[in-house]
């Protein structure tokens, strides 16, 4: 059995007890011992032993309040992770990141998206000062192009009612989140997001639009993304079939490769560029968000950038012992590597955050879902947990049963907004009450004695009584926004970005490539012509894949 387990671990690059850890062994052993104590003693006892626990483990950052007190965080845990941070040279890694070092070592690239929200880079000396000029030029150019597009739209005979944003992954998720979070109720224009190559989505959107009042914005860093181009082609054919001779006059392209957009057929005046050093899942801060900015306005977008820049400042200047980004990453690492946790859940108690979980899922799992260390050797610890979640009270009636009484520990994060942007305060109070109550219930649980006190006169069976017992001591973190303002949204997303960065350094991986995305895309290019031609024999694929192709191509 031991031999089988070791081979299984080697195959999937899972850590084994015989592998040398990049974390010093004495700290690893100490954290394992601490985790055993935490699992036995629970979280409630930490409150009993420390009257200042909430104050000590909560952070007020401008419009954002972070409460980590309902997690397993403790002074001994923080002390151990500060030692790990020192051994991993985490502060130097942070400096390398912000100074433009090639921290994406597999692709030999700097990671510079923070410059889009702070073109002065907080005074940090850049290794290549010219990049600061590029960032400033990019923001100035986007501002100018935005004005020109607004003026062009104002001159149209028929006002634009629908904008179709075509992109996939990082070319769409951030923009969709930005739009949904900040859109004004009653706005006459609307945005439709198309990322899926599944034409059911495309046909549904086109059915809601009219060619005379529709604008199309195609977003692709290279302007060679197959799904995006095929969707754009189909939309162009829809324009033609409805009597528009030059459909591309109604298209704008957003890309880091303007030449390729021109070759596709877009006029230079209809191409909006962004720097090549902007990564896809970090591109919401760039002109990739053009469609949302056209509806929200440039002023709101600038406030969004400023809020993120403020969180950047905290990330860079706050000591690790008081750095909320580091504290959250530390807890992620502790749960995954020492408490046997494989997933974490995020619940946003605000409908405007309905795309937040999808956005954060990509941000973390694409960044830190890696099985290789920076030097190419297999990882020696767990990296990204599975990230999932949902919105508001809907999920309470589905997945919360598992959170409260399931056999796995699943740290939960609750995101609340104190002040709504509507007048139905009674709705909002009920929403907030549910969110806060869930964090309390996860912590406290419910004993059999309490069940008997509450339900003793209802004639319940012994089995029913026991079924109402909750263990409690389930960890949760709460983030509360004063209101869902552009700056608060920017700060929140920047917090999650920097948390992911610290998590990557703690596990010694490159958080900024995405090699795992490429194999399936490459094989899809091989499978597609087989389906087109109806071929299924001698394909070079495994027997199961050939069998699936036969089922698809049989008459």
* CB-based burial label for 48 (10 Å; 0-12, 13-18, 19+): exposed
Q: What angle do CA 428, 434, 437 make, to 5 degrees?
A: 135
* Distance (Å, whole) CA 183 – CA 353: 11
**Contacting residues for 131 by C-beta, under 8 A, at least 6 apart:** 100, 110, 112, 115, 277
In terms of C-beta density within 10 A (0-12 exposed, 13-18 middle, 19 or more buried), how is residue 540 classed? Answer: exposed
Which one is catalytic: 397, 525, 551, 555? Answer: 397
Told to judge if 344 belongs to the known catalytic residues of this protein, a careful annotator would answer no
- Is the Cβ–Cβ distance between 331 and 385 less than 8 Å? no
Residue 60 · residue 480 · CB < 8 Å = no
Annotated active-site residue 419? The verdict is no
Please name which of 197, 502, 549, 548 lies closest in space to residue 330, comparing C-alpha atoms.
Answer: 502
What are the residues whose beta carbons fall under 8 Å from the beta carbon of 192, sequence distance 6 or more? 162, 163, 164, 165, 205, 208, 209
The answer to whether the CB of 403 falls within 8 A of the CB of 410 is yes
What phi, psi does 192 have (nearest 5°)? -110, 130
Contacts of 303 (CB under 8 A, 6+ apart): 485, 486, 487, 490
Question: What are the respective helix, strand and coil percentages of the chain, to the nearest 5?
Answer: 55, 10, 30
Helix (H, G, I), strand (E, B) or coil at 510: coil
Q: What count of Cα atoms within 13 Å lies in the side-chain half-sphere of residue 447?
A: 3
Catalytic residue among 377, 521, 526, 550: 521
Residues 6+ apart with CB under 8 A from 10: 16, 378
**In this structure, what token pair is assigned to residue 283?**
């591109």
Residue 150 CB neighbours (<10 A): 13
Catalytic residue among 366, 413, 428, 498: 366
Cβ proximity of 126 and 97 under 8 Å: no
With beta carbons less than 8 A apart as the criterion, state whether 66 and 324 touch: yes
Distance, CA of 133 to CA of 115 (rounded, Å): 10
Check if 366 is active-site.
yes
Separation between Cα atoms, residue 289 and residue 282, nearest integer Å: 11
In our burial notation (b when 16+ CB lie closer than 10 A, e otherwise), range 263-301 reads ebebeeebbbbbbebbbbbbbbbbbbbbbbbbbbbeebb
Place of tokens 């626990």: 53
Indicate which residues carry an active-site annotation.
Answer: 366, 397, 521
């Amino acid at each position: 059995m031991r031999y089988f387990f070791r081979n299984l671990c080697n195959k999937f690059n899972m850590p084994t007890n015989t592998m040398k850890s990049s974390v010093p062994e004495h700290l690893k052993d100490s954290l394992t011992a601490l985790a055993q104590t935490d699992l036995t003693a629970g979280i409630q006892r930490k409150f009993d032993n420390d009257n200042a626990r909430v104050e000590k483990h909560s952070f007020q950052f401008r419009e954002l309040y972070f409460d980590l007190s309902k997690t397993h965080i403790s002074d001994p845990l923080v002390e151990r992770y500060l030692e790990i941070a020192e051994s991993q040279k985490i502060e130097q890694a942070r400096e390398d990141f912000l100074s433009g070092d090639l921290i994406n070592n597999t692709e030999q690239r700097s990671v510079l998206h923070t410059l889009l929200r702070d073109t002065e880079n907080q005074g940090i000396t850049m290794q290549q000062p010219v990049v600061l000029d590029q960032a400033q030029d990019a923001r100035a150019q986007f501002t100018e192009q935005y004005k020109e597009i607004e003026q062009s739209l104002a001159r149209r005979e028929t006002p634009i009612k629908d904008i179709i944003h075509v992109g996939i992954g990082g070319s769409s998720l951030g923009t969709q989140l930005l739009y949904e979070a900040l859109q004004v109720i009653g706005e006459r224009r609307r945005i439709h997001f198309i990322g899926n190559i599944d034409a059911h989505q495309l046909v549904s959107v086109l059915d809601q639009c009219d060619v005379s009042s529709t604008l199309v914005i195609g977003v692709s860093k290279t302007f060679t993304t197959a799904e995006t181009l095929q969707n754009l082609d189909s939309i162009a054919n829809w324009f033609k079939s409805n009597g528009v001779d030059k459909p591309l006059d109604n298209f704008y392209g957003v890309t880091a490769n303007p030449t390729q957009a021109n070759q596709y057929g877009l006029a230079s005046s209809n191409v909006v560029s962004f720097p090549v050093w902007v990564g896809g899942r970090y591109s919401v801060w760039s002109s990739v968000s053009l469609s949302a900015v056209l509806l929200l306005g440039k002023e709101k977008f600038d406030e969004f950038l400023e809020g993120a820049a403020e969180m950047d400042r905290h990330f860079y200047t706050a000591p690790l012992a008081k750095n909320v980004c580091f504290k959250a990453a530390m807890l992620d690492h502790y749960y995954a590597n020492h408490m046997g946790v494989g997933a974490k859940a995020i619940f946003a108690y605000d409908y405007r955050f309905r795309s937040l979980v999808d956005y954060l899922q990509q941000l973390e799992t694409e960044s830190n879902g890696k099985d290789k260390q920076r030097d190419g050797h297999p990882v020696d610890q767990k990296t990204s947990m599975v990230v999932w979640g949902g919105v508001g009270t809907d999920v309470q009636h589905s997945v919360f049963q598992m959170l409260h009484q399931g056999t796995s520990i699943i740290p939960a994060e609750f995101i609340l907004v104190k002040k709504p942007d509507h007048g139905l305060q009674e709705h909002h109070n009920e929403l907030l009450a549910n969110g806060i109550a869930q964090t309390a219930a996860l912590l406290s649980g419910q004993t059999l004695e309490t069940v008997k006190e509450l339900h003793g006169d209802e004639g319940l069976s012994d089995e029913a009584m026991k079924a109402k017992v909750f263990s409690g001591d389930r960890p949760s973190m709460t983030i509360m926004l004063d209101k869902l303002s552009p700056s608060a949204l920017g700060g929140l997303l920047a917090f999650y970005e920097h948390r992911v960065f610290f998590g990557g350094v703690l596990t010694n991986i490159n958080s900024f490539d995405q090699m795992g995305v490429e194999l399936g895309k490459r094989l899809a290019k091989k499978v597609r012509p087989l389906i087109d031609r109806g071929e299924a024999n001698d394909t070079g694929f495994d027997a199961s894949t050939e069998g699936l192709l036969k089922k698809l191509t049989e008459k």
